[in-house]
Structure 1
Amino acid sequence: MHTTDDWITTPLTRDLLRGALDVERTERGLLPHRLPARARAQNNDGQLAMAESQPSGVRLALRTRATVLELDTLPTKRVYVGVPPRPDGVYDLLVDGRPAGRGTVVGGNTLTIDMTTGAAAVEPGEVGTLRFADLPGGTKDIEIWLPHNETTELVALRTDAPVEPAPDPGRRVWLHHGSSISHGSDAASPTTTWPALAASLGGVELINLGLGGSALLDPFTARAMRDTPADLISVKIGINVVNADVMRLRAFGPAVHGFLDTVREGHPTAPLLVVSPLLCPVQEDTPGPLAPDFSGLAEGRLRFVATGDPAERASGKLTLNVIRDELSRIVSERAADHENLYYLDGRELYGQADAADLPLPDDIHPDAATHRLIGERFAKLAFADRGAFGD
Structure 2
Amino acid sequence: MHTEDTHHPWINTAITAELLRGALDVEHTERGVLPHRLPAWARAQNTDGQLAMAESQPSGVRLAFRTRATAVELDTLPTKRSYVGAPPRPEGVYDLLVDGRPAGATTVSNGNVLTIDMTEGTAELKAGEPGTARFTGLPDGMKDVEIWLPHNETTELLALRTDAPVEPARDPGRRVWLHHGSSISHGSDAASPTTIWPALAASLGGVELINLGLAGSALLDPFTARTLRDTPADLISVKLGINVVNADLMRLRAFGPAVHGFLDTIREGHPDTPLLVVSPILCPVHEDTPGPSAPDFSEFAEGRIRFKAMGDPAERAGGKLTLNVIRDELARIVKQRSADDPHLHYLDGRDLYGSADTAELPLPDDLHPDATTHHRIGERFAAKAFATGGPFADGTA
Is the TM value for this pair above 0.5?
Answer: yes
Counterpart residue type for residue 116 of structure 1 = T
Query: CA deviation digits over 1:263-287, x for unaligned, max 9?
Result: 0000000000000000000000000
**Ranges of 4+ aligned residues in structure 1 off by more than 2 Å:** none
Question: What is the CA–CA distance in structure 1 between the aligned matches of 2:215 and 2:84, rounded to whole Å?
Answer: 19
Q: Is the 8 A contact 2:176 2:233 kept in 1?
A: yes
- One of 74, 78, 91 as aligned partner of 2:77: 74
Per the TM alignment, residue 82 of structure 1 is displaced from its structure 2 partner at its CA by 1.6
- One of 346, 349, 352 as aligned partner of 1:346: 349
Counterpart residue type for residue 244 of structure 1 = A
Which runs of structure 2 are paired with 1:95-114 in the superposition (5 Å)?
95-114=98-117
Query: CA deviation digits over 1:59-109, x for unaligned, max 9?
Result: 000100000110000000001112221011000000000000000001100
Name the count of aligned residue pairs. 391
Report the equivalent of 1:52: 55
Per the TM alignment, residue 337 of structure 1 is displaced from its structure 2 partner at its CA by 1.2
Which runs of structure 2 are paired with 1:33-182 in the superposition (5 Å)?
33-182=36-185
- Other structure's SS at 1:364 match: coil
Question: What is the CA–CA distance in structure 2 between the aligned matches of 1:74 and 1:109, rounded to whole Å?
Answer: 7
Q: Is the 8 A contact 2:85 2:301 kept in 1?
A: no
Question: What is the CA–CA distance in structure 2 between the aligned matches of 1:339 and 1:159, rounded to whole Å?
Answer: 48
- Other structure's SS at 1:40 match: helix
Question: What is the CA–CA distance in structure 1 between the aligned matches of 2:8 and 2:151, rounded to whole Å?
Answer: 33
Q: Is 1:380–2:383 an aligned residue pair?
A: yes
- One of 255, 258, 263 as aligned partner of 1:260: 263
Q: Is 1:198–2:217 an aligned residue pair?
A: no
- Other structure's SS at 2:144 match: strand
Per the TM alignment, residue 2 of structure 1 is displaced from its structure 2 partner at its CA by 4.6
Counterpart residue type for residue 350 of structure 1 = Y
Report the equivalent of 2:247: 244
Q: Is the 8 A contact 2:8 2:163 kept in 1?
A: no
- Other structure's SS at 2:203 match: helix
Question: What is the CA–CA distance in structure 2 between the aligned matches of 1:373 and 1:258, rounded to whole Å?
Answer: 32
Per the TM alignment, residue 28 of structure 1 is displaced from its structure 2 partner at its CA by 1.3
Question: What is the CA–CA distance in structure 1 between the aligned matches of 2:39 and 2:376, rounded to whole Å?
Answer: 31
Pairwise CA RMSD:
1.0
Per the TM alignment, residue 5 of structure 1 is displaced from its structure 2 partner at its CA by 6.8
- Other structure's SS at 1:111 match: strand
- Other structure's SS at 2:216 match: coil
Report the equivalent of 2:316: 313
Question: What is the CA–CA distance in structure 2 between the aligned matches of 1:96 and 1:304, rounded to whole Å?
Answer: 40
Report the equivalent of 2:24: 21
Structure 2 alignment gaps of length 5 or more: none
Question: What is the CA–CA distance in structure 1 between the aligned matches of 2:45 and 2:5, rounded to whole Å?
Answer: 47
- One of 352, 355, 359 as aligned partner of 2:358: 355
Q: Is the 8 A contact 2:182 2:214 kept in 1?
A: yes
- Other structure's SS at 2:285 match: helix
Counterpart residue type for residue 14 of structure 2 = P
Report the equivalent of 2:291: 288
Per the TM alignment, residue 384 of structure 1 is displaced from its structure 2 partner at its CA by 1.2
Question: What is the CA–CA distance in structure 1 between the aligned matches of 2:29 and 2:261, rounded to whole Å?
Answer: 35
Counterpart residue type for residue 215 of structure 1 = A
Which runs of structure 2 are paired with 1:216-235 in the superposition (5 Å)?
216-235=219-238
Question: What is the CA–CA distance in structure 1 between the aligned matches of 2:303 and 2:145, rounded to whole Å?
Answer: 38
Q: Is the 8 A contact 2:14 2:160 kept in 1?
A: yes
Question: What is the CA–CA distance in structure 2 between the aligned matches of 1:253 and 1:84, rounded to whole Å?
Answer: 41
Structure 1 alignment gaps of length 5 or more: none
